[in-house]
Structure 1
Amino acid sequence: MADQMDVARLRSLIDDFLRDAYQQHGHQDLPALCGQLHLPEPPPQEGHSKHQRLKASLQACPDGGLEAVAEAVLDSQPLAGRERNRLEDVLWLGRPHVRIPGRARRELAREFDLSDHLNYPTASWPC
């Protein structure tokens, strides 16, 4: 079962990343960055800021290409955990998956000894 990927939300999250990424790159670096991220070639520099050029490149990207762009962002760029999680959540929503009810997850968690995998020294197991 797969839900529809929220293309508008995915585009917005990528734009948030690009808003920060332009600060780390010069105008001359933007074509290479766009190539690395699977985005179309940015418009020429004349009269455009770096963010405007990256935003135009993202707007020129078809909806079907956003998944590849998001994957490239996740693979090649350091992201804060919260940003990474948001991007992954939207990206994975469109992929086939099986919903596992909370009760089943809790029952499985009780059956497994997770102490070697979790680093909570003050917690007592099982919860």
Structure 2
Amino acid sequence: MSCSFSWGRLRRASGPTGSLTPYDAFWKTHLMVSVGDLQLDLTLHALVNDGLMAIFVVTVELEVRREIAIGQLTSWFHALVPVAAAIAGLAASGTAFNTVSNRSSPAYAGQYRLCGPIPTSR
């Protein structure tokens, strides 16, 4: 049930829509926080993408660095399975994206066809 719902939502999100769905309206909700002269006006989508994901990536990077320095990933033999899982996760997410994306949509005009969601950090 959950897999079919996720599959349907991905398919619907990648297709052309003429009106704003409740899902899209939720992510376009504006949030404004002001303290003195400092004012922050973001949509909920921008807050998650720019703020919370940055905190998540920094936390994961610190945890990975700790594991490489003093944890279970100090030897290449122990690090082999997590590295293979990370590469497989990138390949699986790209394959899933390319499977459900609607390449006939005008949003893909002039873009490289084999693209996918691959998170990166420095």
TM range (shorter): under 0.3
**More strand per residue: 1 or 2?**
2
TM-score normalised over the length of structure 2: 0.24
TM-score normalised over the length of structure 1: 0.23
Instruction: Compare relative contact order (CA 8 Å, sep 6+) and give the higher one, 1 or 2.
Output: 1
